[in-house]
């Protein structure tokens, strides 16, 4: 038979509390700047869509580009990006990696910028990845 063990109540005096209050962050973390959150629902949706494409390759290339620039996009660029994200992942990944040229009927300044940035050395590599880890 189990004996009933009462749970101590939280004391009003934190020095004597059975369950102390949650700790505050360490002093060195308090002064760290926090990134500006994106509050516009349309841009937040774009960020989500860009990072959840279905393939890791597309997530890294498209998601990385959108993360870096979504806060600075004009309304016209946001509309253009929404249209681009409606295209199939396979096509976008082929164009952004340079495997296949972008068709003339779909060429746009935003897509050209994405192709240029994704073609740079190290594009699509997650931040904080040590040098040499991503290369065979």
Task: Give one DSSP letter per residue of 3-42, joined into a string.
Answer: PP-PPPPPPSSGGG-SSPPPPPPPHHHHTSPPPPPP--HH
Residue 18 is predicted with a pLDDT of 54
CA 106 to chain centre: 26
Residue 26 backbone phi and psi in degrees, to 5: -60, 155
Q: Note whether 47 and 70 are within 8 A (CB).
A: yes
Beta carbons of 125 and 60 less than 8 angstroms apart: yes
Whether residue 10 contacts residue 18, with contact meaning beta carbons closer than 8 Å, is answered with yes
Radius of gyration from C-alpha coordinates of the chain? 24
Please name the residue that has the structure tokens 């040499």: 132
Write out the chain's pLDDT in tens, 136 residues: 556 666 555 555 555 555 555 555 555 555 555 555 678 899 999 999 999 988 888 888 899 999 999 999 999 999 999 999 999 989 998 999 888 999 999 999 999 999 999 887 665 555 565 555 444 4
Domain locations along the chain: 41-118
Asked whether the whole model's pTM tops 0.75, one would answer no
Q: What is the CATH number of domain 41-118?
A: 1.10.150.250
pLDDT value, residue 136: 43
């Amino acid at each position: 038979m189990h004996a009933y063990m009462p749970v101590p109540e939280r004391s009003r005096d934190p020095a004597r509390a059975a369950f102390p209050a949650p700790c505050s962050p360490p002093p060195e973390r308090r002064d760290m700047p926090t990134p500006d959150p994106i509050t516009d629902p349309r841009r937040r949706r774009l960020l989500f869509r860009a990072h959840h494409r279905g393939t890791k390759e597309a997530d890294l290339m498209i998601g990385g580009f959108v993360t870096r620039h979504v806060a600075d996009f004009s309304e016209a660029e946001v509309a253009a990006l929404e249209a681009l994200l409606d295209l199939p992942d396979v096509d976008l990944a082929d164009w952004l990696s340079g495997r296949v040229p972008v068709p003339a009927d779909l060429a746009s300044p935003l897509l050209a910028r994405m192709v240029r940035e994704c073609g740079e050395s190290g594009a699509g590599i997650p931040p904080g990845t040590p040098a040499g880890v991503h290369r065979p």
